[in-house]
Structure 1
Amino acid sequence: MGQREQLLAGARRCLDEIGYARTTARDIVAAANGHLASIGYYFGSKEALLNAALLEALDEWGEKAVQQADPADAAGTPAERLTAMWQQVVESHETDRPMLVASTEAFAQAERTPAIRAQIAAAYERSRTRMAAELHGVDPEVDQRTARAIGSVHMALVAGLTQQWLIDPDNAPSAEDVAIGLRAILADLARDEDPPGGEAGG
Structure 2
Amino acid sequence: MGHREDLLEGAVRCIYEKGYARTTARDVVEASGTNLGSIGYHYGGMAKLMTAALERAVENWGLSLAQAVMSADADGLTGAERFEQYWEYMIESVKQHRPLMMATFDAFLEMDRSQEVRQLLVEGMRDARGLWAQAFHGIDPEAEPARAAQVGSFYQALISGVLTQVLIDEDDAPTAQDLSAAVRIVAGSL
Q: Which TM-score applies when normalising by structure 1?
A: 0.87
**2:125: which partner in 1?**
124
Q: Which TM-score applies when normalising by structure 2?
A: 0.92
Q: Percent identity?
A: 39
Runs of 4+ in 1 over 3 A off after TM superposition: none
String of CA shifts for 1:84-104, please: whole Å, max 9, x gaps: 111111101221111111111
**1:160: which partner in 2?**
161
**1:21: which partner in 2?**
21
CA distance in structure 2 between the aligned counterparts of 1:44 and 1:135, rounded to whole angstroms = 38
Structure 1 residue 35 corresponds to structure 2 residue 35: yes
CA distance in structure 1 between the aligned counterparts of 2:53 and 2:61, rounded to whole angstroms = 12
**1:193: which partner in 2?**
none
1:164-179 matched pairs, under 5 angstroms: 164-179=165-180
Where structure 2 has 5 or more consecutive residues not aligned to the other structure, the ranges are none
CA distance in structure 2 between the aligned counterparts of 1:75 and 1:174, rounded to whole angstroms = 22
Taking only aligned residues, the RMSD between alpha carbons, in angstroms, comes to: 1.6
- Give the superposition deviation at 1:74: 5.4
CA distance in structure 1 between the aligned counterparts of 2:86 and 2:163, rounded to whole angstroms = 14
Aligned length: 189
1:87-166 matched pairs, under 5 angstroms: 87-166=88-167
Q: Counterpart of 2:6 in structure 1: which amino acid?
A: Q
CA distance in structure 2 between the aligned counterparts of 1:87 and 1:51, rounded to whole angstroms = 29
**2:47: which partner in 1?**
47
String of CA shifts for 1:138-168, please: whole Å, max 9, x gaps: 1123321110111111111111111111111
**1:195: which partner in 2?**
none
Q: Counterpart of 1:45 in structure 2: which amino acid?
A: G
CA distance in structure 1 between the aligned counterparts of 2:75 and 2:91, rounded to whole angstroms = 23
CA distance in structure 2 between the aligned counterparts of 1:54 and 1:141, rounded to whole angstroms = 26
Q: Counterpart of 2:51 in structure 1: which amino acid?
A: N
- Give the superposition deviation at 1:112: 2.3
- Local SS of the residue matching 2:69: coil
Larger of the two Rg values belongs to structure? 1
- Local SS of the residue matching 2:34: coil
Where structure 1 has 5 or more consecutive residues not aligned to the other structure, the ranges are 190-202
Kindly indicate whether the alpha-carbon contact (under 8 Å) linking 1:68 and 1:81 is maintained by their aligned counterparts in 2. Answer: no
